[in-house]
Chains A and B, each alone.
Chain A
């Protein structure tokens, strides 16, 4: 029998997303019938949904497949990134459970929003069409805005949500504007067709196209939080409830990396000379301003916000190398970064308790005397962020630096190295507070067992991957090679 009119697309490549959508709806509906005491059912369902989605992604088989009229692509890079998104979101939920529980946010809305955000990220990662990319991005962003504002009695959180929303909307506007110019110049929104349209045209560097690229880079810069589009980062990180900060600061970076790859590499690779210069400027500014500003922070959430900015500068250093080596390194960097930021914010959540936010650097004073184990885990995380061996952060920096060096950015490499010295200073200060100072606060640290295990595993993974970085590195490089 012939189907009439509407051909059913091949749903195979999108199975994980479809499953996740079903799971979100289930959680959302089921939660309505649950009392506060049995909220753990939604929590477990949410975790289970993420685990199953992760498995569905992993069972993909590592080939590239297009569907929905080539709007949606499933390739090895997408699979790897989605897997890490699922792992990261599951980790965030475990880390944040007791924190949100004590602050009245342990509700079905949070789980649904987290899953919607995950779905948004997955769509972004798999988008091969400008509209779908935008759709995923908005699904992610809207969920995040709502999550920031979830603690609606907190003045800081509401202010942060407002700021995040206004600036985020501006960034989306920039992206849309850029997309419309690209569409105007090439007549298509499918990334592969954009690439061939640019390659096939007589005047590939028309000014409309150039302007479009500039808008896209600016929009992506907002989402990544790189200088000079970084103003929202510290305020949102600071104002949002820490569990939500952890969310904003980790998994979405994976999606933002995919956004860069899809837009600039899949779609606009022919314009590499244009976007390379723009990214170079963003990268250098982020390294300089992010690191210098982080030094003067007294609030650890703000400090980590500025440190994120500088990490994103490093990430761009890999992307702007403009070759497979660079993209692979950047992907390794972003995955490593997510791992480290999970551990760092996890530690802040660990020290927070009912009515107390461990937000100040001084709250880390004397942690070694309160709990040598957690101090050691934080030490590993901080040294990894500073990029010191034998932690994985070192290899992340090394791979990005060698890619930039190989692409001819020699003095930029030297500059990046010098500013990572500046960065080392403020990470060391945390170690100093934990190890060299006496504690101000001697409340025992009593985390839930699941958090204790996961946080330990998280920080030890930073060390283990530092001793044996090959598996993760190979995974990232191979997935980039097979996808681009």
Chain B
């Protein structure tokens, strides 16, 4: 379709930049490493822009397709292509990478080259996940993302980083290994093909569909993460460095939601329909129960981590309601959550860099010393609570609306998030920001530097634009989502 292999560039440019950064060597060249990382991530973002410009929102099927034989022995193709869903996630990923590089600019001072390189490589790999149209290629990218994140948490993380890194790795590996068995089944069942388009068309008996569904469910539910396989996330978030938390929340969790949309739903539609109630129940438990858990957290990062789980419950809820409003809401929620949770982790990072504490109790009256910061933090907290006019509202509203079409009770229970979300976010905000200056450390705080204002402002613009005028985002989704739902509606029983 397009002469230039844009998708390949979007994947491989950050990876090659990351490798180049590794060769700057020791921390004596840290400045060079940072500069290369910034150039690499900006270039990565710039090459992704033509995707947005050239994307035809009215066309069916995948765009910017690239296809070449990769592993002949297993009939595996290097097959890339995107639809509206992947487009938004790729752009989000490229943008987040730039912000993470800026956020880590001063804060990271040991093994800078490896830090920056890990993020760029991770970014390229995740673009690969979002654009792969071949099962094995998808899996390779999906699994490979574990390695840089493992290193990021373990090397630059907090006190309990080793435990958190191992838990993160083994938990997610457990899920994806089961998915590997499912992929092998699908490969053999399709007569030796890993291509998604073959998998979408082939009939699968119901019992096998259920098994495949659960195997894929483990892989993606751990990533999302859904209750009850969410326990790795608070540990990983708390111990990860700020950049790691941002990428984890903003992009990596989306791999799970994306996996449900790209694999589970179209490949095993009958099982997905039959087991939707199960997923919806788990999602509602996440929304309500995890929302309550978030309320009692004393650690800011942990609170945001639980809030992430609760918000991702909306995503899985929206996906398994099988109507276009809810599905679009789920995808918008994924993007919005990328902005908002990323921003909140950056806010906590800003405080942590100054105070070296994440405990809410150590703060109070921050607004007196950091008014600019307090305003940004306010905006993101409101977005997290789902205030109309921010991106957080759009996704949640669409999902609740979609839920109301299916069942009043779903909508009712999902709607409690607007109360719970407001409660835990704003209560935390109040305790940290308002009130009298709590102690001498708070009294010594400096407001945001120009560098910090940069990434805060970019995210603030995204949150507001998406909240006020979401049409450009939903427009690219309509056709893709309708195609997907039409596909899910067709039975694949033999």
Contacts and interface: CB of A to CB of B under 8 A. Distances in A.
B151 interface: yes
A369 to B, nearest CB: 8
A431 interface: yes
Interface string B179-214: 011001101100000000000000000000000000
B184 A418 contact: no
Contacts of B151: 431, 435
Interface in A382-419: 383, 388-390, 394-395, 398-399, 401-402, 405-406, 413-414, 417-418
Contacts of B114: 368, 372
A420 B174 CA distance: 9
Interface stretch (B31-39, B67-75, B88-96, B433-441): B67-75
A194 interface: no
B214 to A, nearest CB: 12
Interface in B75-89: none
Interface string B36-78: 0000000000000000000000000000000000111110000
A237 B132 CA distance: 43
A470 B73 contact: yes
Contacts of A390: 140, 144
B456 interface: no
Contact of A421 (B70, B71, B111, B174): B174
A405 B188 contact: yes
Interface stretch (B158-166, B283-291, B382-390): B158-166
A425 interface: yes
Contacts of B180: 398, 401, 417
A428 B166 contact: yes
B486 interface: no
A394 B176 CA distance: 13
A372 B151 CA distance: 13
A482 interface: no
A428 B143 contact: no
A470 B71 contact: yes
B256 interface: no
Contacts of B155: 368, 435-436
Contacts of B461: none
B313 interface: no
A432 B157 CA distance: 13
A421 B154 CA distance: 19
Interface centre among A368, A388, A468 (most CB of B within 10 A): A388
Contacts of B178: 414, 417
Interface in A412-445: 413-414, 417-418, 420-421, 424-425, 428, 431-432, 435-436
Given A399-B74, A436-B154, A394 B165 contact: no
Nearest to B162: A436
A477 interface: yes
A434 to B, nearest CB: 10
B73 A389 contact: no
A86 to B, nearest CB: 24
Nearest to A406: B188
Residues of A in contact with B, size category: 35 or more
Contact of A398 (B72, B147, B184): B184
A147 B181 CA distance: 42
Interface string B135-153: 0100111011011001100
A443 to B, nearest CB: 18
B73 A420 contact: no
B73 A428 contact: no
B177 A432 contact: no
B263 interface: no
Contact of B170 (A372, A398, A421): A421
A468 B74 CA distance: 12
A473 interface: yes
Interface in B110-127: 111, 114
Query: Looking at chain B's contact residues, is the secondary structure mostly helix, strand, loop, or mixed?
Result: helix
Given A390-B140, A394-B140, A418 B73 contact: no
B177 A421 contact: yes
Contacts of A431: 150-151
A401 B150 CA distance: 26
Interface centre among B165, B170, B181 (most CB of A within 10 A): B181
Query: Looking at chain A's contact residues, is the secondary structure mostly helix, strand, loop, or mixed?
Result: helix
Contacts of A420: 177
B173 interface: yes
B181 A405 contact: yes
Contacts of B177: 417-418, 420-421
A402 B187 contact: yes
Interface string B1-32: 00000000000000000000010010000000
A424 B175 CA distance: 13
B169 interface: yes
A469 B181 contact: no
A484 interface: no
B73 A405 contact: no
A469 B74 CA distance: 10
A166 interface: no
A170 interface: no
A474 interface: yes
A389 B174 CA distance: 15
A474 B25 CA distance: 37
A414 B180 CA distance: 9
A473 B71 contact: yes
A372 to B, nearest CB: 7
A439 B140 CA distance: 32
Nearest to A372: B114
B74 A428 contact: no
Contacts of A368: 111, 114, 155
A424 to B, nearest CB: 6
A388 B150 contact: no
A301 B137 CA distance: 34
Interface in A425-482: 425, 428, 431-432, 435-436, 468-470, 473-474, 477
A376 B185 CA distance: 34
B50 to A, nearest CB: 26
Nearest to B157: A436
Nearest to A473: B73
A405 B150 CA distance: 30
A426 to B, nearest CB: 11
A473 B155 CA distance: 35
Interface in A169-185: none
A427 to B, nearest CB: 11
Interface in A145-172: none
Contacts of A477: 73
A424 B111 CA distance: 25
A422 B72 CA distance: 31
B264 to A, nearest CB: 19
A413 B185 CA distance: 11
Contacts of B111: 368
Contacts of A379: 147
B143 A470 contact: no
Interface centre among A368, A383, A389, A473 (most CB of B within 10 A): A389
A388 B144 contact: yes
Contacts of A398: 74, 136, 180, 184
B169 A428 contact: yes
Interface of B: 22, 25, 70-74, 111, 114, 136, 139-141, 143-144, 146-147, 150-151, 154-155, 161-162, 165-166, 169-170, 173-174, 177-178, 180-181, 184-185, 187-188
**6 A-B pairs with the lowest CB-CB distances in the bound complex, closest first:** A389-B140, A473-B73, A436-B154, A417-B177, A402-B184, A389-B143
Given A406-B188, A417-B181, 11 more contacts: A399-B73, A399-B74, A402-B187, A402-B188, A417-B177, A421-B177, A425-B170, A432-B162, A432-B165, A436-B155, A436-B161
28 contacts: A379-B147, A388-B144, A388-B147, A389-B139, A389-B141, A389-B144, A398-B184, A399-B74, A405-B188, A406-B188, A414-B178, A414-B181, A417-B180, A418-B177, A421-B170, A421-B173, A428-B169, A428-B170, A432-B165, A432-B166, A435-B154, A436-B161, A436-B165, A468-B70, A469-B71, A473-B74, A474-B72, A474-B73
